[in-house]
A and B are shown apart, each in its own frame.
Chain A
Amino acid sequence: EAGVAQSPRYKIIEKRQSVAFWCNPISGHATLYWYQQILGQGPKLLIQFQNNGVVDDSQLPKDRFSAERLKGVDSTLKIQPAKLEDSAVYLCASSLDLSAVYGYTFGSGTRLTVV
Chain B
Amino acid sequence: DAKTTQPNSMESNEEEPVHLPCNHSTISGTDYIHWYRQLPSQGPEYVIHGLTSNVNNRMASLAIAEDRKSSTLILHRATLRDAAVYYCILRNAGNNRKLIWGLGTSLAVNP
Contacts and interface: CB of A to CB of B under 8 A. Distances in A.
A56 B96 contact: yes
Contact of B41 (A55, A102, A108): A108
A106 interface: yes
Given A42-B102, A42-B103, A42-B104, A106 B97 contact: no
Contact of B43 (A40, A48, A109): A109
B98 A106 contact: no
Nearest to A104: B46
Q: Give the size range of B's interface with the partner.
A: 10 to 19
Interface in B88-108: 91, 96-99, 101-104
A55 B95 CA distance: 11
A78 to B, nearest CB: 20
Interface string A44-73: 110010000001100000000000000000
Interface residues of A, number: 23
A56 B34 contact: no
B49 interface: yes
A42 B98 CA distance: 14
A103 interface: yes
Interface string A99-115: 11011111111000000
Contacts of B42: 108-109
Interface string A75-115: 00000000000000001010000111011111111000000
6 contacts: A41-B101, A56-B98, A98-B97, A103-B36, A103-B46, A107-B43
Interface of B: 34, 36, 41-46, 49, 87, 91, 96-99, 101-104
